[in-house]
Amino acid sequence: MSENNENENYSIENTKLEKVLSVPMILFFLLIMAIPIINLLMSFRWSFKKNINKNLKNLSRVFFMIYIVTLIIYVYIVIS
Query: Alpha carbon 65 to chain centroid distance?
Result: 10
Question: One digit per residue, pLDDT tens: the chain, 80 residues?
Answer: 555 665 555 555 656 778 899 999 999 999 999 998 999 899 999 999 989 999 999 999 999 899 899 999 999 999 98
Q: Evaluate whether 31 touches 21 at the Cβ level (below 8 Å).
A: no
Q: What is the DSSP-derived secondary structure letter of residue 15?
A: P
Residue 13: the pLDDT is: 61
Range of the domain at 50: 18-79
The pTM assigned to this predicted structure is: 0.69
For the chain, what is the total number of helices (H) and then of strands (E)? 4, 0
In a domain, 24, yes or no: yes
Residue 60 CB burial class (10 angstroms; 0-12, 13-18, ≥19): buried
In a domain, 7, yes or no: no
Number of domains present in the structure of the chain: 1
In a domain, 34, yes or no: yes
